[in-house]
Amino acid sequence: MSHDGHHSIVIPAPGPEFVPHTVAHHFDSPVQEFQACKLGFWLFLATEILLFGGLFAAYFYFHEAYPETFRLGGQQLNWKLGAVNTTVLLLSSWTMAMGVRSAQTSQKKATILFCWLTVLGAAIFMGIKFVEYKAKYEHGFLPLFGGFEVADWFKDTHHVMKDVPHGHMFFAIYFTMTAIHGLHVLIGAGLILWIIKGASKGRFHAGYYLPVDLVGLYWHLVDLIWIFLFPLLYLVP
């Protein structure tokens, strides 16, 4: 038998510090809502994989075409800062996983704490990224202010790339990939802040933690992409 749609299904709050969740009226059950939203989010993540995939294909394409440019270009990056940033992102991925786990087990304070730690990781990551971008810009490697010709941004101030063909090519790829990745870090941090807001109102608990779960998946994807970017850009093989 099915209900007639006039009554809503409510998932009760597990404690006084939480609020109940009302299942959207076009779903027949909480399980259906959870599974539908989660499948939708996995499909969205699949589109992200394909979107970044195009950039990775471009990387391999030009790494094959100009191996010397890429090797020398990679040496201009500070691999220690890259390694620190990798560690920061891996740690933040762990705190996010723990944040989701805390929501699953109705631990309100832990959820909020782990989410804040993840945002902290995002902030450190972007801070280090800013330091790196600044240095690269001063070396004439980064296109931050537009220009009609490549010479307007690729100045190669210290002439380190002058002996390899198309020296700007590595930095073009580096800039494109890290800028789009950085944009995802910022969006992810914004989403986690939104989760923190909801969590402090007690919206997320064992009965309903779907948004925490989905934002967590998004954050892990950001980490996932960086796992490949780090060796490809900072330790060019």
Q: Which of these ranges, 93-101, 118-126, 128-136, 187-195, lies near other proteins under the rule CB under 8 A?
A: 93-101
Q: Are 18 and 202 in contact (CB under 8 A)?
A: yes
3-state secondary structure of 237: coil
186 contributes a contact to other proteins by CB under 8 A: no
157 contributes a contact to other proteins by CB under 8 A: no
Least separation in angstroms between CB 110 and other proteins: 10
Size of the site for other proteins (CB under 8 A): 96
Q: Which of these ranges, 19-27, 122-130, 131-139, 192-200, lies near other proteins under the rule CB under 8 A?
A: 19-27
Q: Which residue has the tokens 């690729």?
A: 154
Instruction: Give the H/E segment covering residue 122.
Output: helix 108-138
Over the window 38 to 77, marking each residue x when it contacts other proteins by CB under 8 A and - when it does not, the resulting string is xxx-xxxxxxxxxxxxxxxxx-xxx-xxx-----------
User: From the list 73, 131, 182, 237, which residue makes contact with other proteins (rule: CB under 8 A)?
Assistant: 237
Structure tokens at 87: 């560690």
116 contributes a contact to other proteins by CB under 8 A: no
The rounded distance, in Å, linking the Cα atoms of 72 and 181 is 23
2 contributes a contact to other proteins by CB under 8 A: yes
The rounded distance, in Å, linking the Cα atoms of 192 and 211 is 10
Q: In degrees rounded to 5, what are phi and psi of residue 205?
A: -155, -175
137 contributes a contact to other proteins by CB under 8 A: no
Nearer of residues 86 and 129 to other proteins, judged by Cβ = 86
Instruction: Give the H/E segment covering residue 124.
Output: helix 108-138
The rounded distance, in Å, linking the Cα atoms of 54 and 159 is 30
User: From the list 15, 17, 68, 105, which residue makes contact with other proteins (rule: CB under 8 A)?
Assistant: 105
5 contributes a contact to other proteins by CB under 8 A: yes
78 contributes a contact to other proteins by CB under 8 A: no
220 contributes a contact to other proteins by CB under 8 A: yes
* Residue of 13, 43, 24 whose CA lies nearest to 214: 43
| Beta bridge partners of residue 11, listed in sequence order | 21
147 contributes a contact to other proteins by CB under 8 A: yes
User: From the list 150, 160, 191, 193, which residue makes contact with other proteins (rule: CB under 8 A)?
Assistant: 150
User: From the list 19, 75, 78, 104, which residue makes contact with other proteins (rule: CB under 8 A)?
Assistant: 104
Instruction: Give the H/E segment covering residue 11.
Output: strand 10-11
